[in-house]
Amino acid sequence: MSETSPELIHQIDPLRKRLAEERARGRTIGLVPTMGALHEGHLSLVRLARERCDLVVASVFVNPTQFGPNEDFARYPRNLQRDAELLALAGCHVIFAPTTDAVYPSGHVTSVHVAEVTRRWEGAARPGHFDGVATVVLKLFNMVGPDAAFFGQKDYQQTVVIRRMVRDLDVPVAIHVAPTIRDDDGLAMSSRNAYLSPRERDQGLVLSRTLQRCRELFERGQRDVAVYDSVIADSFAAEPEVCIDYASVVDADTLEPISRIGDRAVVIIAARVGKTRLLDNAILGE
């Protein structure tokens, strides 16, 4: 298997057979789940997986069950050939790009619901989203059987949901979370940034600018969340065309809002610029 040509596998049985051979040789397996339309954020996860595991599997699957009825499933960017080229450069060994029928054969009726940590924020804005995420991630874990799986901090609530699912269901996989990769101007990389016009992109910088202000407040010792709330409000007031879905300082584990910052908190923001929803967050106190 050469580093420049990852093996492309579309079905579950051949994937299991291939990975069983690797496992029998004592090689550890790392999984990077993605929906494709890859960028440097995804590739940073592949590189981290290469450092931690012997064999890296990247899944490319636009998961229908995590999209709401009025969301962008149909127009979500798909380009497997380009993704495969980028994965080759990042040193991925196996690309698992299953068909929708392979993942959801007709008659499937089972799903995973992680309670509590899915109640607010993305869970409230996108009903059913995290059931779709938890279900597909558990299915991918069962298909691949990875020793470790790699996720981006960019989707902070998702990392909390997956860690909780793994803990609650005794899934034998180590979860690694890697920092958010940003463009030079600070915008968190996202496959959905492709939807932004140059003007919207510029307006969208208010998210990372606001988070930077929050980091500075934290470094100066500020722990009163009311102060953060007013800084966030002032910051977004300068970009009236950007609509906040939520912007809140929350407990890093429970995702519940807090009024004072203890050891560790997260500022989570979701906002809409035109038709595009942007997410970003900052952990305060690693």
The residues that bridge with 29 in the sheet, in sequence order, are 55
Residue 190 binding ligand AMP, by CB under 6 A: yes
| Options 42, 93, 129, 176, the catalytic residue | 42
Q: List, in order, residues 6 or more apart from 55 with CB less than 8 Å away.
A: 19, 22, 27, 28, 29, 30, 93, 94
| CB of 279 vs ligand AMP, minimal distance in Å | 9
Identify residues 125-154 at the interface with ligand AMP (CB under 6 A).
151-152, 154
Residue 76 binding ligand AMP, by CB under 6 A: no
Q: List the one residue from 112, 165, 188, 266 that touches ligand AMP (CB under 6 A).
A: 188
3-state helix, strand, coil in the chain (%, to 5): 40, 20, 40
Q: SS3 letters for 100-120?
A: HHHHCCCCCCCCCCCCCCCCC
- Pairwise CA distance, residues 100 & 93, whole Å: 22
| CB of 110 vs ligand AMP, minimal distance in Å | 21
Which lies closer to ligand AMP via its Cβ, residue 38 or residue 225? 38
| CB of 179 vs ligand AMP, minimal distance in Å | 7
Q: List, in order, residues 6 or more apart from 216 with CB less than 8 Å away.
A: none
Q: List the one residue from 189, 196, 225, 278 that touches ligand AMP (CB under 6 A).
A: 189
Distances (CA, A) of 118 to 40, 49, 158, 159, 222: 27, 27, 9, 11, 28
Identify residues 27-66 at the interface with ligand AMP (CB under 6 A).
34-35, 41-42, 44-45
| 42 tagged catalytic | yes
| CB of 230 vs ligand AMP, minimal distance in Å | 28
Binding segment (CB under 6 A) for ligand AMP, from list 116-124, 138-146, 174-182, 206-214: 174-182
Q: Which residue is nearest to ligand AMP (CB)?
A: 152
CB 163 within 8 A of CB 93: no
Cα angle value 97/128/269 (rounded, 5°) = 90
Give the binding site for ligand AMP (CB under 6 A): 34-35, 41-42, 44-45, 151-152, 154-155, 178, 180-181, 188-191
- Residues marked as catalytic: 42
